[in-house]
Structure 1
Amino acid sequence: DAIREFYENWSRDYDSDLLLAIGYVGPEIAAEALAKRVGKTALVLDAGCGTGLVGIELIKRNFDLTIDGIDLTPAMLEQSRSKGAYRKLNIADMCGPLFEIDDDVYDGAVCAGVFTNGHVGPDGIDELIRVVKPGAPVVLTVRDSAWEADGFKDKVEQLEESGKTRTVEISHSPYHTKEDVFCELVVLEVI
């Protein structure tokens, strides 16, 4: 509830605060990683879509994508809706099951800015894997301060060891360019 309220209050200034003030590039790197791994007419999920920054970056790279978005905060979804990049936008809490989404629906999923300290933990990855088709990519940004400390590195390794995913890429990437903050860009292939 506290996180939902925080983002409700921040929704109008979110884009300018992140893009201009701190140089947030998570949406760009995540969209680039997904766009080069899905077909031109793919159906993709932007999980934790916020104000739609990833959706805009995906459309810049591939005009024919169909994008659905989910987010915890209604005000953030309204900002996403205003950008016109999404087919559907729904409220969802990634800390639990995504009941409204069937198995094996999407040709890919992307999640930027959600896997960070105090937000969604590593178990949130399980639902992204469930809702994409076998062979599809799941692209994540994980704040570097959360990567090992919050168990994301271990989770990614466990997913591969259990045969649920194949790790395609893990790269240490810029995240907030004006604050010298980094993330791990993770690309998984669902098996």
Structure 2
Amino acid sequence: MNQAVKSKENESFDAIKEAHTLSGDAEKIQTYYDKWAVAYNSDVSNEQYIGPEYIVNLLTTLKSNNGLKTVDSSDRQIKILDAGCGTGLVGTVLKQKGYHGVDGADLSEGMVEQARSTGAYNFLESGIDLTKQNEAYEDNQYDATICCGVFTLGHVPPTALSELIRITKPGGWVVVSTRKSYYDSTNFQEICNRYQQEGKVKLVNHVKDGPYIAEEGAHYWAFAVC
């Protein structure tokens, strides 16, 4: 391998791993991603990040389950929030698939600036902390909420799932990825079980250790909101 290419790949790997050490501190995360925004796409591409394509493809396949009335995920006019949109990688795939009603939200303004350049979003909002209830979004606002690369080490706790549920309509979809190392070291399964027991959501599809990034896979979760 060309030494310069290898060096760049090492830098990309290091940037991703450093992001995992941010301990869920919103201020640190925001500052780190503001600085990383310009190089982010190149770095994750170097690490063969395919989570955005995979999670959008999963959304398009979702159907009603056991008589549960749900949003038609194949309808390209549904209103979608890309929560933790970053530079717009998920939004770009949604646009390529023909979805027109996509909004994006992220903690980092630097990342949102990159997302704006994709032309994939109708509305973008920065300063959105998914660990809190955000006044920018009403209850039951979206037909689907998609969240890729956010439930990962050093970022948000599993309970952030509740904010995604809140802003999604009954019968709507919440589709998230959990990096495998994150799932293994948190109580995400416990939270998933609790929200189902409380009647907030129903798990309709679950992909274990699906394609995500070169280093490791991710679990993908598709919940129908009750």
Answer whether contact 2:131 2:163 (CA < 8 A) is retained: no
Question: Aligned to 1:86, which of 121, 127, 130?
Answer: 121
CA distance in 2, matches of 1:163, 1:148: 25
Question: Which residue of 2 is the match for residue 44 of structure 1?
Answer: 80
Answer whether contact 2:55 2:175 (CA < 8 A) is retained: yes
Q: Which runs of 5+ in 2 are unaligned?
A: 1-26, 63-72
Question: Which residue of 2 is the match for residue 188 of structure 1?
Answer: 223
Question: Which residue of 1 is the match for residue 43 of structure 2?
Answer: 17
Higher Cα Rg: structure 1 or 2? Answer: 2
Q: How do 1:3-152 residues align onto structure 2 when only pairs under 5 Å count?
A: 3-19=29-45, 21-37=46-62, 38=73, 39-61=75-97, 63-91=98-126, 92-152=128-188
Number of corresponding residues = 187
Structure 1 moving runs of 4+ over 6 Å: none
Pair 1:64–1:4, CA change in 2 (3 A): closer
Letter in 1 for 2:156: V
**CA RMSD, Structure 1 to Structure 2 (Å):** 1.1
Answer whether contact 1:117 1:150 (CA < 8 A) is retained: no
Question: Aligned to 2:201, which of 150, 153, 165?
Answer: 165
Percentage identity across paired residues of the two chains: 36
SS in 2 for 1:72: coil
Deviation of the 1:147 alpha carbon: 1.1
Letter in 2 for 1:29: Y
Higher share of residues assigned helix: 2
Q: What is the TM-score when the length of structure 2 is the normalising length? A: 0.80
CA distance in 1, matches of 2:100, 2:177: 20
| C-alpha distance after superposition, 1:136-157 (max 9, x if no partner) | 1110000111114211111111
- More displaced stretch, 102-111 vs 26-35: 26-35
Deviation of the 1:82 alpha carbon: 0.4
Letter in 1 for 2:55: A
Q: What is the TM-score when the length of structure 1 is the normalising length? A: 0.94
Answer whether contact 1:32 1:58 (CA < 8 A) is retained: no
